[in-house]
Each structure stands twice: as C-alpha cells, then as structure tokens.
Amino acid sequence: MELIKDQANIWRIPKTGGMLVDGLVFASEALMVKAKEDRAIEQVANVAHLPGIVGNSLAMPDIHWGYGFPIGGVAATEVSAGGVVSPGGVGFDIGCGVRLLRSELSEEDLAGKLHELVGALARKVPAGVGGAGLVPVDRAQSQRVLKEGAKWALSEKIGNDEDAEYTEDRGTLAGADPRSVSDKAIERGSRQLGSLGAGNHFLEVQVVDEIFAEAPAQAFGLRLGQVCVMIHTGSRGLGHQVCTEEVRSIDSAMRMKGIQVPDRQLACVPVGDAEGQRYMEAMFAAANFARTNRHVLADAVRDGFSQVFQSSRDARVSTLYDVSHNVAKIESYEVDGTSRELCVHRKGATRSFGPGSPELPDRYREVGQPVLIPGSMGTSSWVAVGSNESARLSFGSTCHGAGRMMSRKAAGKQATGREVEAQLGERGILVRARQIRLLAEEAPYAYKDVDEVIEVCHELGLSKKVAKLRPVAVVKG
C-alpha cells in the first residue's frame, strides 16, 4: 500500500481500487511505525470504500487495530447522497467517554487523606466485569434513561443542573428511541447503571501538573496543584448488546441492498434507510445511557469526597466537562465550498469544537470545547481545547487517548498484576483494583506515549494543549 508523507505528521494513502477518497493518517514518524505494524493503515483504506464518504478517511495519532474501523478512525458520509452509517465506525462500547471533575482541593490537602479517599471512592463506585450498578432501574425507568439521558437523572435528584450543562449535548442526544433497543439490551443495562466496568475503564484521582494555556485553563476552572477526578467508562452491556445485534442486522440488510465493502466488519446501510434510522435511534439511546452512567458515578464521587472531607468547600466537586469518543452524529461541515449534512463517525476519537461553536456552554464558547484525553494508568492525562482548524482537517475531531501498543494478552505476559501494582506504587500512584491480575493488561507499557500523541494533535491544530494531569490514585475493575 502506497503511503505518502504530505507534511510533518500527515501521511496520505492515495485513492486506489474501490476507494472513494484518500486516507489521511495524523501521526509522527514513531507513531506511524506502530500503525503499520498492526495493519491499522489497511483499515483506514478500507473505510475509504464506504458509500457516500466525503473528504478523507481519517485516523488520529492513537490509531490501532479495531473492529472494521481502526480505533482512532474518523469518517464522514453525506446523508443526502446515500451516505451510510456503519456500527463498526462507532464500536461496541457506544458512548464511551470521559468526565472530568474538578475539586477545590490542592495536592497538599490530600496529605494523610489519600488512602482514605481512594478507599471511599472504591467502595462508592462499583467496578469489575459484569458488575451491578448503583441505580438499578426497571423497564419503564430504563426507557426513560435511554430517551432522556441526564435529564432522567436530574428528575431523580441525582447530580445537579451543572452536570448536564457541562456535558456534550447537555447530556441528552435527541433522536434516541428506546423502541429500537431490544429487550435483551435493556435487561443488561437495567442492572448496570452507575458502574465502571473493567478493561481500560477507570476512575482516577489526578493533580494538575502543568498549565500550557492560561485563558482556557481559567475558563475551565483549572489551576496548578488542583485535585481532579477523571471517570472513563461507557454504556456497559447495553451498548455492547446494541452493537452486536445491529452489526448482524445491518450486515444482512447491506447484502440485500447490494452494497459491497472490502471487510464485512464495515457492514453499513444508508443513514436515510429504515435500517439506518433504527440503528441511529438505538445508538443514540445507548449513548444517553453512557452519559447517564457517568452522571451517576460523578454523584458517587461527591459522596466519597463528602465522607472524607468535612468542610463543604473541601468536599465540593463539579463537572468540568463530559465528552464521548465512540459515537456517530449528524453535523454540518463545508466540503468543496458548500455546507453539507454529514454523518460523522468517531471511533476512539473525541469531538473538538473550536471557539464560537453554538454547541458549547456559554462559559466555554469564547475559548472552545474542553477535550479530555486519558492517559494509560500511570501516565499523565490531558485537558486540551477544541480548535476551529479541526473542522477543516478532521470534521471537528481529535485523539481520544494514548492508543494500545500491544494486545491485552501480550501485555499480560510482561508482568503480573501484583508487579504492576508495585511498580505504580513506587511512582507514588495508589491502586485499588477488583481483579489485580487484570492490571497487567492495562499497564502503561501496553500503550503508546500519550504525550507524543497529544503533541501531534497540538502541532496540527486538531486540539491545543491546556493542562497536564498527573495521576496519584486509580480505581479499576
């Protein structure tokens, strides 16, 4: 496969065969080596075959092999021109994303309290494979969660209005329809609302270590030494079930419609067809579940802080922002000089809207959207800010994390969970895990250098660096 270096950090896969557009990969020389090794570049080219795709098939610097789409993949299809939607372009953990909470505490306030705080958070936040959630819901309540998202939680006196205000889409994706979600998916979700799960999901206590841009940092309410909490999780079993069922259904519909793609994992149908609409309704519903899940967990974090810190100031925890990185949405962008309605797939990619976007809360509109980029359990996480340049380059998208460098199986052979726990402890990072053996699968060495990933995005203008957050404690499943 031909690969041309257009400029620093931009690599082009020229259109060949059935590709409808070129592929573009945003990566440094070192990051590109790994992208080639795990064949993720081939998936970028495959995505370029999707009917109705416009611009380029894109990949962020944290690109690695995924189901159909690479993780870190972005693609936009034109709705009015028969553009398709593909469940492989969203992934199985629909609506997975990050919520960042800021506290009023400084790092010195944690002295003598960190173990107690982490213990409280570990008790308050359910984690682990298949774990039950904090707020079990019946069928009627589940349908409201799927339809209303964070609005349902607020109606149940969970969290506060600011939590929804500072969530992507104000916490509720319009167009969700619970009737498009199967009984089996609803049943799986009804037991898991308010749970962290396992794998790469986590809750992390962090400290603001460096500030790179004062104006957005002030708008986001960040300062040096400040204690924050990052929550990374998604739609749990409900989203996985929705994707499993829809991949099967859309694969069948695609073949009946005569649509051909180079990989059946790219099963797709036109957004405007009945099957496409049903998937969008179900996917939006699962994304609403994911947002509500993080909303509930944020409230549990508040309970943990209140248990440990006596004064109302010290216990105060507020939502900075909540953004998903596994979703497809209908958005408008200029393509070839005209504004077009596009279905933008972001799989392992974060929305990155620049200053002036009407999608943003008033507090952030002047500086741009907070972009939340988690590290790899033991490495720093980042807060960046959206850039208008990203609308031109990447349909308003940027990276979503460090990106895996080795499989979970391979990582698990490098060290035991206890060894990883000890290594993190030597670096001053406290760990609480439901299953210690699984720590090895998520060890820092299993991931790319998140700082390098962020630097590529910063230099290209996909997003701009604001603050670097150092982990001091992590809760895992």
Which residue numbers are catalytic? 400
Question: Taking Cα atoms as reference points, which of 148, 150, 130, 103 lies closest to residue 293?
Answer: 150
Neighbour tally for 316: CB within 10 Å: 15
Please name the amino acid found at residue 69.
F
Chain centroid offset of residue 73 CA: 12
Could you identify the residue written with the tokens 């496969």? 1
Q: Output the furthest CA–CA distance in the chain (Å, rounded).
A: 66
Structure tokens, 281: 């309704």
Using left for φ > 0, alpha for ψ between -120 and 50, and beta otherwise, residue 375 falls in beta
Question: Taking Cα atoms as reference points, which of 373, 378, 380, 382 lies closest to residue 440?
Answer: 378
Residue 26 β-bridge partners: 10
Q: Which residues contact 269 (CB under 8 A, 6 or more apart)?
A: 84, 85, 250, 253, 254, 257, 259, 275, 276, 279
Cα–Cα distance measured from residue 81 to residue 52, given in angstroms and rounded to the nearest whole number: 6
> What one-character DSSP code corresponds to residue 428?
T
Q: Which residues contact 163 (CB under 8 A, 6 or more apart)?
A: 150, 153, 154, 171, 295, 298, 299, 319, 322
Question: Taking Cα atoms as reference points, which of 412, 309, 410, 427 lies closest to residue 375?
Answer: 427
**In terms of DSSP bridges, do strands 10-13 and 23-26 run parallel, antiparallel, or are they unpaired?**
antiparallel
Structure tokens, 49: 């075959």
CB 459 within 8 A of CB 388: no
Structure tokens, 353: 């809207």
SS3 label, residue 88: helix
> Which H or E element spans position 408?
helix 408-412
Question: Taking Cα atoms as reference points, which of 239, 202, 172 lies closest to residue 99?
Answer: 202
Cα–Cα distance measured from residue 433 to residue 235, given in angstroms and rounded to the nearest whole number: 20
> Which H or E element spans position 187?
helix 183-190
Alpha helix locations (H) across 84-134? Answer: 114-124
